[in-house]
A and B are shown apart, each in its own frame.
Chain A
């Protein structure tokens, strides 16, 4: 069995700061991490491999420095890492990204064996779109199961997979055919501590690096900024409200009392409603 896991290297959003004067992102020194949602996909892939045998290939598209995230994925136990890196990929929106990744997955199939399952996280923490997974599936003509909480059965000989998919009002139990793309829901597993042997292997492993040409991209105009139907016209920090928060002065009474007085002064009807609400509990 061959599983391809798509990961993305993202800035650690907890560390992003906006410059107070220029309102621009201060990217310098912001550490990068593997998109946390992708770790659930990676662990799911490793668990399937441990159970059914086979190989796990991790794939990312990004700048040369994205190699760090791939190497990290190898320390968890992935067998192979492919980095798709080329200036032609820069500025890609989700449609252009799915084209590049789908092309690379085809090439991975030709080179290392056709994957049975493509796994992704449910979304990234920097873009938050959840669009690239479905985009890859559509471009490869694969079936997709998104927001999967659990892969409940896999029949490699019969070429079927069963999974529990989160929907708005409940859980769908679905069966579909391989190969397919699955996006894993968060908190569905916990990424393993990599074994020492994997850490040693990862340190000296060769990361496969492909340019657009290496990956078999035939139409460069479908990549990067040129291949992106959407364009970002404006980036801005939201304007503060006209008046800032009124700060509670609690020099003359306890802060809790002062705060409650201000709340009910502004929302006179709220107190009666809260009494009614509180009695319901």
Chain B
């Protein structure tokens, strides 16, 4: 006789009911890692200060900035600036060994500050630096880390509820780190709104030593080649963005998107499948794993609107969707839709915009 089949016991989930272990109960306050590279603070850090401020207010705790960098004006300035974006205090690890980002030295600096001052929540930008650092720090601390969150909130019991797309961006999920501290999360640039900068005096600064000498750090930076400005796409900050998806049918048709973008003085982008097919380079990808955009006008041509794409464009003031499929999910979040073939509409739209925006038609605008 065969054994009766039992439903699989949810072994791990049972553990989630437990109370927070005693040694984690002293972990308090919300921290934001302020990322600076070569003297520049990455804007995502200030965006996170805005999100962190809301969490701290709900929890009735402090918001702290963690600034790690070389001993000098740039690091001092970054710490001072953090107060203007809402920090109550700043932890600073300033040492000239931290002039360049290196995983070893930054992981030690951040891990040491966390172990000493014990935050309950630690947020980092999901940049190449932030992701490199967050993975190492979370593994060192053996705590949970939720990547690329699109929403952060605290529950009634004070736990961090971190929401992110899952299953390749086709569904959303909310993730908790219940029995470990700190609760760590990364957020991609431009996902959170930039808070208003308010001029404020510098507040309490707690300095912490790095405790390393150069010989302790194995990895050496031989040189740094900054990107040429012309090579940088301004996609994330553009006022107008035109993007294409699989509905364009062929890589050649992608030039229709570029033509319209050029007439509008806009940046162009694409959905993920086009990058995977090699039609467009990855720096033009819009969505969860690409750029998040917040333009005044976004025109999506032949893009079906998977969640993975949606989360990258929802901050746009006006979303216009062109698609032949009236059931495409993009019509669920676009403001204006037109059910037609983008391959045929784009050239007409380009000409019509060109005529309307040319200097000769300015009288019409004035009237």
Ranked 3 nearest A-B pairs via Cβ: A225-B12, A134-B135, A13-B168
Q: How far is the CA of A134 from the CA of B124 in the complex (A)?
A: 15
In the assembled complex, how far is the CB of residue B272 from the closest CB belonging to chain A, in whole angstroms? 8
Identify which of B49-57, B65-73, B85-93, B169-177 touches chain A.
B169-177
Contacting A170 at CB < 8 Å: which of B227, B276, B358? B227
Q: How far is the CA of A248 from the CA of B335 in the complex (A)?
A: 11
Q: How far is the CA of A230 from the CA of B12 in the complex (A)?
A: 10
B338 near A230: Cβ-Cβ < 8 Å: no
Interface string of B301-341 (1 = CB under 8 A from A): 00000011010000001111100001000111111111110
A168 near B42: Cβ-Cβ < 8 Å: yes
A168 near B219: Cβ-Cβ < 8 Å: no
A203 within 8 A of B: no
Which A residues between 238 and 270 are near B, CB-CB below 8 angstroms? 238, 240-241, 244-248, 250, 254-260, 262-263, 266-267, 270
B240 near A231: Cβ-Cβ < 8 Å: no
Q: How far is the CA of A94 from the CA of B227 in the complex (A)?
A: 32
A-B contact pairs, 29 of them (CB 8 A): A13-B272, A95-B139, A95-B143, A127-B147, A129-B148, A130-B135, A134-B131, A138-B140, A169-B37, A225-B11, A225-B12, A229-B143, A229-B144, A229-B180, A230-B144, A230-B145, A233-B174, A240-B332, A245-B321, A245-B330, A248-B338, A250-B340, A254-B352, A259-B336, A260-B353, A263-B320, A267-B297, A275-B357, A278-B264
A144 near B132: Cβ-Cβ < 8 Å: yes
Identify which of B113-121, B205-213, B247-255, B343-351 touches chain A.
B343-351
In the assembled complex, how far is the CB of residue A223 from the closest CB belonging to chain B, in whole angstroms? 10
Q: Which residues from chain A contact B348 at a C-beta distance below 8 Å? A: 254-256
B239 near A95: Cβ-Cβ < 8 Å: no
Identify which of B76-84, B96-104, B191-199 touches chain A.
B96-104
B365 near A25: Cβ-Cβ < 8 Å: no
Q: Which residues from chain A contact B6 at a C-beta distance below 8 Å? A: none
Beyond the given pairs A128-B169, A167-B128, A174-B219, 7 more chain A to chain B contacts, judged by CB atoms under 8 angstroms and listed by A's residue number, are A131-B138, A131-B147, A138-B139, A139-B139, A225-B11, A260-B352, A277-B239
A245 near B218: Cβ-Cβ < 8 Å: no
Q: How far is the CA of A6 from the CA of B67 in the complex (A)?
A: 34
Q: Which residues from chain B contact A238 at a C-beta distance below 8 Å? A: 172, 307, 310
A126 within 8 A of B: yes
Contacting B227 at CB < 8 Å: which of A169, A263, A279? A169
A187 within 8 A of B: yes
Quick one: given A16-B168, A25-B170, A146-B132, are A256 and B351 in contact (CB under 8 Å)? yes
B337 near A248: Cβ-Cβ < 8 Å: yes
**Which of A169, A236, A248: most chain B CB closer than 10 A?**
A169
A231 near B12: Cβ-Cβ < 8 Å: yes
Contacting B225 at CB < 8 Å: which of A132, A162, A173? A173
Q: How far is the CA of A147 from the CA of B130 in the complex (A)?
A: 12
Q: How far is the CA of A105 from the CA of B330 in the complex (A)?
A: 43
Interface string of B203-229 (1 = CB under 8 A from A): 000000000000000111111111100
A166 within 8 A of B: yes
Interface residues in B, total, Cβ within 8 A: 110
- By secondary structure, the B interface counts as mixed
Q: How far is the CA of A250 from the CA of B322 in the complex (A)?
A: 13
B318 near A278: Cβ-Cβ < 8 Å: no
A131 near B349: Cβ-Cβ < 8 Å: no
Q: Which residues from chain A contact B1 at a C-beta distance below 8 Å? A: none
Quick one: given A170-B226, A277-B265, A278-B264, are A232 and B336 in contact (CB under 8 Å)? no
A36 within 8 A of B: yes
Q: Which residues from chain A contact B200 at a C-beta distance below 8 Å? A: none
A225 near B13: Cβ-Cβ < 8 Å: yes
B292 within 8 A of A: no
In the assembled complex, how far is the CB of residue A209 from the closest CB belonging to chain B, in whole angstroms? 22
A143 within 8 A of B: yes
In the assembled complex, how far is the CB of residue B18 from the closest CB belonging to chain A, in whole angstroms? 12
Q: How far is the CA of A176 from the CA of B302 in the complex (A)?
A: 45
A60 within 8 A of B: no
Q: How far is the CA of A187 from the CA of B285 in the complex (A)?
A: 14
B234 within 8 A of A: no
A168 near B37: Cβ-Cβ < 8 Å: yes
Closest to B15 in A: A226
Contacting A266 at CB < 8 Å: which of B101, B176, B318, B357? B318
B103 near A143: Cβ-Cβ < 8 Å: yes
B265 near A274: Cβ-Cβ < 8 Å: yes
In the assembled complex, how far is the CB of residue A146 from the closest CB belonging to chain B, in whole angstroms? 5
In the assembled complex, how far is the CB of residue A103 from the closest CB belonging to chain B, in whole angstroms? 14
Q: Which residues from chain B contact A236 at a C-beta distance below 8 Å? A: 171-174
Contacting A247 at CB < 8 Å: which of B40, B169, B338? B338
A14 within 8 A of B: yes
Closest to A171 in B: B225
In the assembled complex, how far is the CB of residue B94 from the closest CB belonging to chain A, in whole angstroms? 20
Closest to A167 in B: B128
In the assembled complex, how far is the CB of residue A43 from the closest CB belonging to chain B, in whole angstroms? 15
Q: How far is the CA of A89 from the CA of B310 in the complex (A)?
A: 32
B336 near A234: Cβ-Cβ < 8 Å: no
Contacting A175 at CB < 8 Å: which of B136, B220, B357? B220
B129 within 8 A of A: yes
Which B residues between 255 and 307 are near A, CB-CB below 8 angstroms? 262-266, 272-273, 276, 278, 281-282, 288-289, 296-297, 307
In the assembled complex, how far is the CB of residue A121 from the closest CB belonging to chain B, in whole angstroms? 12
A172 within 8 A of B: yes
Closest to B170 in A: A16
Q: How far is the CA of A16 from the CA of B146 in the complex (A)?
A: 23
Contacting B365 at CB < 8 Å: which of A228, A230, A232, A275? A275
